[in-house]
Structure 1
Amino acid sequence: MKTLLKIRAIFISIYKNNEVLTNMLLKFILTFISIFSIDSVTNISSTMLVLIIAVSFSLVSIILSVDIILICLMMLILFIISKAGLVLTSIVGAIFIMSYVLYIRLFSKEVILIFFTMLLIPSGAVYLVPLVGALFFGFGASGAIAVGYVFYNIFIQLNTLMSQDLSAFTVPNIYLIVSTFLENTIYNEKMLVSIAILTIVFLVVYLIRILSIAYAPYVAIFFGSIINIFGFLLAQMLINLDLNIIVIVSATISCALIAFFVSFMSRVLDYTKTQVVQFEDETNYYFVKVIPKIETSSKANQLQQAYMPLQMDINNTNKEL
Structure 2
Amino acid sequence: MDNVYVLRERLQAIYGRHSKIFDKGLQFLLALVAFLLINQNVGFMKAASSPVITVALAVICTFLPLMATVVMATALLLAHMFSLSLGVFAVTAVVFLVMYCFFFRLAPKMAFLVLLTPIAFALKIPYLLPIVCGLAFAPSSLVATSCGTIVYYMMEYVKKTSTALEGSGAKGLMTQITKYAKQVFQSKEMWIVIIAFAISCFVVYSLRRQAVDHAWKIAIIAGAVVNVIVIAVGDIALGVHTSYGALIGGSLVAIVVGLILELFFFTVDYARSESLQFEDDEYYYYVKAIPKVSVSTPEKTVKRINERQETEIIDTEAVRKNAERKREKPVSKRTPKKGPGVKVQDMREVDKMLLTQSLRKDLNLDD
TM-score, length-scaled by structure 2:
0.69
Aligned to 1:187: 186
Change (3 A) 1:125 1:298: closer
Distance 1:145 1:297 in 2: 38
Change (3 A) 1:189 1:86: closer
Distance 1:298 1:70 in 2: 43
What is the aligned-residue identity percentage?
Answer: 18
Distance 1:193 1:228 in 2: 10
TM-score, length-scaled by structure 1:
0.78
Distance 1:70 1:296 in 2: 40
Deviation, structure 1 residue 79: 2.6
Structure of higher RCO (CA pairs closer than 8 Å, 6+ residues apart): 1
Distance 2:188 2:234 in 1: 10
Question: SS state of the match for residue 157, structure 1?
Answer: helix
Tell whether the 8 Å contact from 1:84 to 1:166 is kept in structure 2 after alignment: no
CA RMSD of aligned residues (A): 3.3
Instruction: Give 5+ residue unaligned stretches, structure 1.
Output: 282-286, 300-321
210-219 vs 16-25, which moves further: 210-219
> Do structure 1's residue 251 and structure 2's residue 250 form an aligned pair?
yes
Deviation, structure 1 residue 210: 2.0
> Do structure 1's residue 45 and structure 2's residue 49 form an aligned pair?
no
Change (3 A) 1:167 1:102: farther
> Do structure 1's residue 87 and structure 2's residue 57 form an aligned pair?
no
Tell whether the 8 Å contact from 1:145 to 1:199 is kept in structure 2 after alignment: no
Change (3 A) 1:298 1:14: closer
What CA deviation, in whole Å up to 9, does each residue of 1:268-291 have, x standing for no partner? Answer: 65699775867699xxxxx9x884
Aligned to 1:56: 56
What CA deviation, in whole Å up to 9, does each residue of 1:131-159 have, x standing for no partner? Answer: 11221111111122221121111123334
What is the one-letter code of the residue matched to 1:93?
A
Change (3 A) 1:57 1:209: same
Q: How many residues are aligned here?
A: 292
Deviation, structure 1 residue 188: 1.4
What CA deviation, in whole Å up to 9, does each residue of 1:70-121 have, x standing for no partner? Answer: 1111112223333345433332222211111122453122222222211111
Tell whether the 8 Å contact from 1:232 to 1:245 is kept in structure 2 after alignment: no
Question: SS state of the match for residue 156, structure 1?
Answer: helix
Distance 1:196 1:293 in 2: 36
Change (3 A) 1:269 1:16: farther
Distance 2:59 2:194 in 1: 33
Aligned to 1:235: 234
111-120 vs 129-138, which moves further: 111-120
Aligned to 2:166: 164
Distance 1:298 1:95 in 2: 55
Change (3 A) 1:113 1:98: same
Choose 1 or 2 for highest CA Rg.
2
